[in-house]
Amino acid sequence: MTAEATTRDAAGERPIVDTTNGPVRGVDDGTVKVWKAVRYAAAPVGELRWRAPQPPQAWSEPADASRTGPVCPQPTDPRIPIDLGAPQGEDFLTLNVWAPSGTQPGDGKAVMVWVHGGAYILGSASQPLYQGRTLAADGDVVVVTVNYRLGALGFLELSTLGADTDQFATNVGLRDVLAALGWVRDNIAAFGGDPRRVTLFGESAGAGVVTTLLGSPAARGLFSAAIAQSSPVTSAYDAGRAARVAERFLEVLGVGAQDLGQLAGLPIETIVAASRTVFDEVPVQTPGRLAFAPIVDGDVVPDYPVSLARKGLTHPVPLIIGTNRNEAALFRWMKSPLMPIKAESITAMFAEIAAEQPSLQLPNRTDLEGTYRGRGKSKGLGLASDLGFRMPSIWFADGHRAAAPVHLYRFDFATPMLRVLRLHAAHATELPFVWGNLGAVRKDPMFALGGRAIGGVVSHRLRTRWTNFAKHHDPAGPTGEPNWRPYGADDRATLVIDKQDSVIDDLDADVRRAWGDDVLSFL
């Protein structure tokens, strides 16, 4: 690596950094330096569409890294009006880097690598919500956001139908994130980061990537700490389920299993449309299941993430893991079938589980009903939130704490408008506070009825904990905030994030006892 060079133009400083693939020219606005759309892998086009990520062709002249590049092609959903921050396109295996102005090569700042969520089919590294300016500058860290293959491009498992695993690799989306982490290891020192202090963090499907890679042999040594926000830990499936999705996908396309060679030449729009069809069908037919998600392939994913954690086979890196108090409220508000909220959907899911595994002892129905009865009309929401996010996170924490310190949290803060909308602390509502980008999403009603001032305080406190964890592996808050003890077998200390933080011992005692451990094998 050569030292960073700078040039100046009308836009300000233009820092140039040499990477292993070629030099990139970013922008320094006086607060942060940023390099956008930096390639970490070749465009997944043609014969590379479903292959493991390949190195990009090297370049010698500085590549312009001042603007966002294309993001993964994906279906649009009017119920989820995501601002992707850039147009869709097929040359999207890129990442964005932010560093505080004044950062020099070799400074060794802690690094935070973000994996976005979106049910493994939506989202991008360039969403305005994930602009790393505030997090990098205020936290004095280097921030990296990663694009990876989504939907059928990232999680269609054609090898389950006998396809060649070189041409159609398993868990391609996970392999993309692994390749990006490899890029960070090899290049981040030139941007002022420390490759030995890399915190992998993500939310929803992105957190699912985090908890899955915590048990992946391929990820060993690529990150030193992890943060999983609302991880669908148990949304990792076996090859049989993946095969059924792959068969349906080919049926929608009208392509036979013997004609897989045709897939490389199909228009990307055709692939995306088929992804959308299958994605919409699966949770209706099998409540609680996603069409596209990591699978246990015996390679990148040797076993289910919770099983690996309980067997002591996750990487020994410190972990922050937690959920929001009202996760399922977002799915009710969107009228989305992704989570089984209505009684009939929950009943159907349990019936499917019983049919698949008749010898399985499911949670005691009386205990479950007693736990949720007091919640009135919201008991379905509570059960869905716990089934999809809370309990899987607790199970993972219970296992991983034998390997490394775990800090468990629950995000409870809600603005007046979120309470009026009956969203409260719904799925993804913590994101603006983690990034410090309050009001970054257009037409966001979050602060329409006030609450921005206290929201800013909550955001500062949360960002301080996250960046302190990245820098010191200690999620200390600002002076005067309660000490967030590790989650232990005796006290099960849990940080509740609200207008004021509090640490509560065994916050989830009643829910944890009701669900028990026997349910793990079907999730």
Task: Kindly give, in sequence order, each residue whose CB lies less than 8 Å from that of residue 166, ignoring residues fewer than 6 positions away.
Answer: 51
CA 142 to chain centre: 18
Query: At which residue do the structure tokens 């990876």 appear?
Result: 148
Residue 16 is encoded by which pair of tokens? 């140039």
CA angle centred on 356, ends 354 and 362, rounded to 5°: 30
Given the residues 231, 327, 393, 473, select the one marked as catalytic.
Answer: 327
Intra-chain end-to-end CA distance of the chain, in Å: 46
**Is 327 noted as a catalytic residue in this protein?**
yes
Cα radius of gyration (the chain): 22
Given the residues 427, 430, 459, 473, select the one marked as catalytic.
Answer: 427
- CA pseudo-torsion sign 104, 220, 306, 477: negative
Interatomic CA distance for residues 383 and 405, integer angstroms: 28
Interatomic CA distance for residues 273 and 257, integer angstroms: 19
Pairing of strands 23-25, 12-18: antiparallel
Which residues, in sequence order, are bridge partners of residue 146? 95, 115
Interatomic CA distance for residues 511 and 296, integer angstroms: 28
Given the residues 124, 126, 204, 459, select the one marked as catalytic.
Answer: 204
Q: How many CB atoms lie within 10 A of CB 239?
A: 17
Which residues, in sequence order, are bridge partners of residue 408? 321, 494
Give per-residue burial for 20-29: e unless 16+ CB within 10 Å, then b.
Answer: ebbbbbbbbe
Determine contact, residues 95/53, Cβ cutoff 8 Å.
Answer: no
Interatomic CA distance for residues 232 and 237, integer angstroms: 12
Determine contact, residues 348/355, Cβ cutoff 8 Å.
Answer: no
Give 482's DSSP letter.
Answer: P
Burial of 185 (0-12, 13-18, 19+ CB in 10 A): middle
Determine contact, residues 229/207, Cβ cutoff 8 Å.
Answer: yes
Nearest to 510 by CA among 357, 321, 298, 363: 363
Interatomic CA distance for residues 87 and 256, integer angstroms: 32
Query: At which residue do the structure tokens 């990148």 appear?
Result: 300
DSSP assignments along 336-389, one per residue: -TTS--SHHHHHHHHHHHHHH-TT--PPPHHHHHHHHHTTGGGHHHHHHHIIII
161 backbone φψ class: left, alpha, beta (φ>0; ψ -120 to 50): alpha
Pairing of strands 94-100, 493-497: unpaired
Catalytic residue positions? Answer: 204, 327, 427
